[in-house]
């Protein structure tokens, strides 16, 4: 590569393809199934698939707006979230299917519930409540919420577990020893956290052009390219939702055959 224009041209093509796919996608409807009395874990997981899909679309839209207005630093933060959301969808599908194969509907349903109710803040609140850091009155909880707090029903899924799963999936498909997704995630993480990238390189103008074996490249073109690669996950968003829905339909079929198996 002798010209940084080659990098920007490749990014432009990726952004154009992503924009075309985004124009064909519409937000899915999401329901408050708990309030509706729905106990079928399959319907809950199908609903969760729509949540993942909608979040990918929302993050893409915000990232596109930031990129188009040359707010590249903030766009990198949004772009990283796109990859994380996609990874969580893949990992949830894997874990639910694994639970179903090993422990039937009951185990799969518990896994579904752990993803639907995943909340780090609730888990931390449970710990503080158990330790007595705050009084029961300080929470202003309803009786049902208090019962859930006492039973410690909240769960939290670690994003890095989902990311590692995605990296392994990619390397298995590509037959490579290194994950390009992981390299991309690390690049965007440098922008997300206070680092040399997001502090020094972002604001020291005389450091914006970088000498490489391929010639002098623009630091900002590289950041924009990272956003373009992450935004390209939109291309696989509908396929992810369909595969998650297939797993959900399998759960629902088993639930309908024997409703005594589980109640969410």
* Tens of pLDDT, residues 99-133: 999 999 999 999 999 999 888 888 888 888 788 78
Q: Distance (Å, rounded) from C-alpha 53 to C-alpha 55? A: 5
Predicted structure pTM score: 0.89
Query: In the chain, pLDDT over 90 holds for what percent of residues?
Result: 71
pLDDT at 1: 38
Q: Distance (Å, rounded) from C-alpha 30 to C-alpha 36? A: 12
Average pLDDT of the residues of the chain: 90
pLDDT at 261: 52
- Those residues with Cβ within 8 angstroms of residue 230's Cβ, 6 or more apart along the chain or in another chain: 63, 79, 80, 82, 83, 184, 188
Burial grade of 133 (CB within 10 A; 0-12, 13-18, 19 or more) = exposed
Query: In the chain, pLDDT over 70 holds for what percent of residues?
Result: 95
Torsion of CA 189, 120, 168, 231, to 10 degrees: -50
């Amino acid at each position: 590569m002798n010209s940084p224009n080659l990098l920007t041209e490749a990014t432009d093509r990726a952004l154009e393809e992503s924009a075309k796919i985004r124009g064909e996608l519409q937000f899915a409807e999401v329901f408050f199934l708990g309030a509706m009395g729905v106990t079928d874990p399959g319907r809950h997981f199908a609903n969760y698939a729509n949540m993942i899909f909608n979040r990918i679309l929302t993050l893409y839209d915000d990232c596109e707006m930031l990129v188009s207005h040359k707010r590249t630093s903030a766009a990198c933060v949004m772009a990283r979230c796109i990859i994380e959301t996609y990874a969580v969808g893949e990992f949830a599908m894997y874990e639910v299917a694994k639970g179903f194969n090993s422990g039937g509907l009951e185990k799969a349903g518990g896994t579904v519930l752990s993803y639907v109710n995943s909340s780090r803040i609730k888990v931390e609140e449970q710990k503080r409540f158990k330790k007595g850091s705050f009084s029961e009155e300080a929470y202003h909880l309803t009786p049902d919420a208090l019962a859930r707090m006492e039973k410690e029903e909240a769960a939290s899924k670690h994003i890095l577990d989902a990311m590692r799963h995605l990296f392994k999936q990619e390397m298995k498909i590509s037959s490579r020893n290194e994950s390009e997704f992981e390299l991309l995630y690390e690049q965007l993480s440098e922008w997300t956290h206070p680092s040399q990238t997001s502090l020094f390189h972002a604001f020291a103008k005389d450091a914006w052009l970088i000498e490489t074996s391929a010639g002098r490249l623009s630091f900002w073109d590289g950041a924009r390219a990272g956003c373009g690669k992450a935004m390209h996950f939109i291309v696989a968003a509908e396929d992810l939702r369909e595969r998650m829905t297939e797993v959900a339909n399998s759960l629902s079929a088993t639930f309908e055959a024997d409703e005594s198996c589980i109640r969410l």
